[in-house]
A = this chain, B = another copy of it.
Amino acid sequence: MQSFEINKADLLKIRTALDGDDAEILKVLEEYHASEIAILFERLNPDQRQKIINVLPADVASEIISEMDEEDHPEQILFNLHPEKRSEIIEELDYDDATDIISQLEVHEQQEVLEDLDQEDATNIRTLLTYEEDTAGGLMNSDVIKINVSLNKKDALDEVIRLSEEIEEFYTIYAVDDYDTLQGIVSLKDIIKARPETMVADLMKTDYVFVRADVDQEEVAKLISQYNLTSIPVVNDYLKLLGRITVDDIIDVLEAESTEDILKISGVSEDEELSGNWKDAVKSRLPWLVINLGTAFLAASVIRHFAGLEAKLPIIAAYMTIIAGMGGNAATQALAVTVRRISLNDLTDAQAYRTVLKEFTVGLINGAANGIIVLVVALWYDANPLLGLVLFLAMTGNLIVAGLTGATIPLVLKRVGIDPAVASSIIITTFTDCIGFLLPLWLASSLLL
């Protein structure tokens, strides 16, 4: 297998070369794939990265820059280059990648960069910069292979070959009219196989899926995955072809969406960069913790209410934390399964109902199973059968509550249009904490005193 792993020898070689002159650096770098250099980049400091991009030819440099992580700030490396080299590299980049990188610069820096580009590139990138980053427009590449519907086979083939000089990889050829309005899609194979006099209009498929530029990227990902597409055309309100999104752009979207799901379900703001600094992390997490603290006071007020009981039965404090904690764990399980399910697929009413019923059953069984263990411990350790019964009932009850809320809350939030991953875990912990304290305390004060 050809996967590239960084080893110390590679790193040492490159770091040593970086102390030498340009020729030495180039000679060492020649041994690596552009994507391998991109991986090595993670271990180098900004100065070393800049040096490498400075000496590499524009085509290799552009590939590395397009593969750099956003958080490693490729836009700064680009901006620091000599304007001529910079423009060369940008011209090698796909428009969508170039736009993503340039969009990270300050507006006056963007102007400076765009002014040095040739007219056509600058116009294309300026247009792409107007779309929101997380929409189809922000995701699309405006470089597409498009041919006029009225061309015959031979002219169409010539045109595709001409256009393909600039656009290396293409999945689909788009057929447009004189105003660039999308008319259909054609495959290169069908053009080759066609008889000379056949027109593009006769070869194209007219039932195809497309998106408008303002559609959310998550929706685009769902379409591509649902219809098993390799690419999807992007149009404006008048069906003018603006660009295309390919399935590999969608991989990044899907990974980002999954990361957001994991963060939100754990009470972290979805905007927190995984490798961000502590300031961002505090800003993203402190608000959730403070909300949690508020709900914790609520749960604690249940304990305050029974303060007299604890003086008489101090052992109950230890058990009640166990029951509340187990409720939290069981609720998290139910929540994770339900939230992820909703996030991959909308549920029908019948499916939602069955989900809640299932989580009730799971809560009952897991609650009773853990309840028996607690009962046995209470018998063996505290020799108190009635306490054992109280704990058994409380554990079962709380795990049923955990299952019910873990499934119901995200489903309800989804129905009323709130992202189920965001608020669910806080609401649910509040429930399982309150009920987890209330049940043992109330049952104990009713049955034991």
Report which A residues bind B (CB closer than 8 A): 1-4, 33, 35, 39, 42-43, 67, 157, 161, 164, 169, 171, 188-189, 192-193, 207, 209-212, 215, 219, 222-230, 246-248, 250-251, 254-255, 258-259, 261-263, 265-268, 272, 274-275, 277-278, 281-282, 285-286, 288-290, 292-293, 296-297, 299-301, 303-304, 307, 310-311, 314-315, 317-319, 321-322, 324-326, 328-330, 332-333, 335-337, 339-341, 344, 348, 351, 358-359, 361-362, 365-366, 369-370, 373-374, 377, 429, 433, 437
Residue of B whose beta carbon sits closest to that of A191: B192
The answer to whether B348 and A228 touch across the interface, beta carbons within 8 angstroms, is no
CB distance from A384 to the nearest CB of B (A): 14
Contact B33–A207 (Cβ < 8 Å): yes
- How far is B231's CA from A171's CA once the two chains are assembled, in angstroms? 12
Interface-centre pick from A1, A300, A365 (highest chain B CB count, 10 A): A1
Q: Which of B290, B297, B322 contacts A296 (CB 8 A)?
A: B322
In the complex, what distance in Å separates the CA atom of A193 from the CA atom of B117? 30
- Whether B1 pairs with A219 at a CB distance below 8 angstroms is yes
Known: A33-B227, A43-B348, A278-B358. 8 other contacts (CB 8 A): A3-B222, A35-B228, A67-B228, A225-B251, A262-B340, A300-B318, A303-B321, A310-B314
Question: Are A290 and B373 neighbours in the complex by a CB distance under 8 Å?
Answer: yes
Check if A328 sits within 8 Å of B330, measured CB to CB.
no
Q: How far is the CA of A374 from the CA of B294 in the complex (A)?
A: 10
Overall SS of chain A's interface: helix
Inside 8 A of A315's CB, which chain B residues have their CB?
A: 304, 307
CB of A209, distance to nearest CB on chain B (Å): 5
Contacts of A351 in B (CB 8 A): 275
Tell me the complex Cα distance, A192–B164, Å.
Answer: 11
**Which B residues touch A297, using CB under 8 A?**
322, 377
- Residues from chain B with Cβ under 8 Å of A311 in the complex: 311, 314
A351 to B286, CA, bound (A): 23
Judge whether B272 and A248 touch: CB under 8 Å: no
How far is B157's CA from A326's CA once the two chains are assembled, in angstroms?
Answer: 66
What is the total number of copies of this protein in its complex? Answer: 2
Q: A1-B219, A326-B293 are in contact. Are A268 and B321 (CB under 8 A)?
A: no
A203 to B71, CA, bound (A): 38
A189 to B164, CA, bound (A): 8
Whether the pair B1, A362 counts as a contact (CB closer than 8 A) is no
A351 to B307 Cα, complex, angstroms: 48
Asked whether A42 lies within 8 Å of B285 as measured between CB atoms, the reply is no
> Residues of B contacting A212 with CB < 8 Å?
1
Q: Evaluate contact between A1 and B211: CB separation under 8 angstroms.
A: yes
User: Which B residues are CB-close (under 8 A) to A171?
Assistant: 171, 230
Measured in the bound complex, the distance between the Cα atoms of B255 and A196 in whole Å is 45
Known A278-B362, A319-B300: A289·B251 in contact at CB below 8 Å: no
Q: CB-CB < 8 A to A307: which residues of B?
A: 314-315, 318
22 A-B interface contacts by CB (under 8 A): A3-B226, A4-B226, A35-B228, A67-B228, A161-B193, A164-B189, A228-B248, A251-B251, A254-B255, A258-B262, A267-B329, A268-B337, A281-B337, A285-B330, A285-B362, A286-B369, A290-B373, A292-B329, A299-B322, A299-B325, A307-B314, A310-B310
